[in-house]
């Protein structure tokens, strides 16, 4: 029982100190491994032995000995995938519905705007928690919910821009020469609102990243994918704050903050381009 409570690795690779701790026993070790197969025809591929211990990797390990640095690297493309997929799909839906609503008008405009108003006033986080609890915390479920509730804001703004462009001279000239409504919306109106749509696409990305991180931190994310929110959730569950394991909390938290700030700064940098009032006079 004493050996199991101390740990076999400490007894083999350590020297006991007076305070009960173990000092690492430096030296060269030769490890021999015997592998047995039940069938003679079984093949064994490349085998690698990794002795992680309790100090391993550039940013240490968690309680299970997993390298936190690798988890942070793996979580980076996942965060970008969630943010970009959500923002691109939401922007496409919002832009298309906003242009149609503003140009066509009538009952179509009324239906789109009423649906947008209803969806836009529904609190997102409680719905995310509810649907992920029912359908599971898979990434596609999170992205789908964020897209469904992410398009109304852009649709409302684009519609107001299209209403002002609808009475412009170039649109009236296109109507006079017999251009179809689809051609006018695609060739004349869309290029005028495209810079604003691009800026909103960039601005929506950090919102999706923060929403996924919040769900994962609450334990409602996909447990099979080590996202930054999952790393924070596992850290708090294992008492990393109380134990002072800062390397387990600060890196994923800072990455979430810096990634959000990066996209916000990009959107702010594009704002003078899409808003003529903010352009500096040269």
Contacts of the segment 194-198: beta carbons below 8 A, 24+ positions apart:
195/270, 195/273, 195/274, 196/157, 196/158, 196/161, 196/274, 196/275, 197/91, 197/95, 197/154, 197/158, 198/270, 198/274
pLDDT at 94: 92
Give the span between the Cα atoms of 277 and 166, in whole angstroms: 21
- 3: its two tokens: 């050996």
Local confidence pLDDT in tens for the 282 residues of the chain: 444 556 666 777 788 887 777 787 888 878 777 777 777 777 777 777 766 555 566 777 777 777 888 888 888 888 888 889 999 999 999 999 999 998 888 889 899 999 999 988 888 888 888 888 888 778 888 888 889 888 998 999 999 888 888 888 888 888 888 888 888 888 888 888 888 888 888 888 888 888 888 888 887 777 778 888 888 888 888 888 888 888 888 989 999 999 889 888 888 887 777 665 555 544
Go through 173-209 and write b for each residue having 16 or more CB atoms within 10 A of its CB, e for each that does not: ebeeeeeeeeebbeebbbeebeebbbbbbbbbbbbbb
Predicted pLDDT at 258? 92
What pLDDT is recorded for position 92? 93
Fold held by 68-278: MetI-like fold (1.10.3720)
Closest of 73, 35, 82, 64 to residue 211, by C-alpha? 82
Cβ neighbors of 192 (< 8 A, separation 6 or more) are: 161, 165
Taking residue 147's Cβ as centre, other Cβ atoms within 10 Å add up to 21
What's the sign of the alpha-carbon dihedral 230, 235, 237, 238? positive
């Amino acid at each position: 029982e004493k050996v199991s409570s101390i740990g076999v690795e400490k007894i083999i690779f350590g020297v006991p100190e007076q305070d009960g701790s173990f000092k690492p026993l430096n030296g060269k070790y030769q490890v021999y491994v015997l592998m047995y197969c039940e069938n003679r025809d079984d093949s064994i591929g490349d085998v690698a032995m990794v002795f992680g211990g309790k100090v391993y990797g550039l940013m240490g390990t968690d309680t299970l000995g997993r390298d936190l640095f690798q988890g942070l690297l793996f979580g980076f493309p996942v965060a970008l995938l969630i943010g970009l997929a959500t923002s691109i799909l939401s922007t496409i839906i919002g832009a298309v519905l906003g242009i149609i609503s503003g140009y066509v008008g009538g009952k179509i405009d009324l239906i789109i705007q009423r649906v947008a108003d209803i969806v836009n006033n529904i609190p997102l986080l409680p719905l995310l928690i509810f649907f992920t609890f029912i359908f599971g915390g898979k990434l596609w479920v999170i992205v789908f919910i964020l897209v469904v509730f992410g398009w109304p804001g852009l649709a409302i703004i684009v519609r107001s821009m299209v209403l002002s462009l609808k009475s412009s001279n170039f649109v009236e000239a296109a109507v006079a020469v017999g251009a179809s409504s689809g051609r006018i919306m695609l060739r004349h109106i869309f290029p005028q609102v495209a810079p604003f749509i691009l800026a909103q696409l960039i601005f929506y990305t950090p919102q999706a990243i923060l929403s996924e991180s919040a769900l994962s931190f609450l334990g409602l994310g996909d447990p099979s994918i080590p996202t930054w929110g999952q790393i924070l959730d596992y850290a708090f569950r294992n008492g990393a704050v109380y134990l002072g394991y800062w390397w387990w909390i600060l890196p994923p938290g800072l990455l979430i903050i810096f990634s959000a700030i990066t996209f916000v700064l990009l959107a702010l940098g594009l704002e003078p381009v899409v808003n003529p009032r903010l352009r500096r006079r040269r």
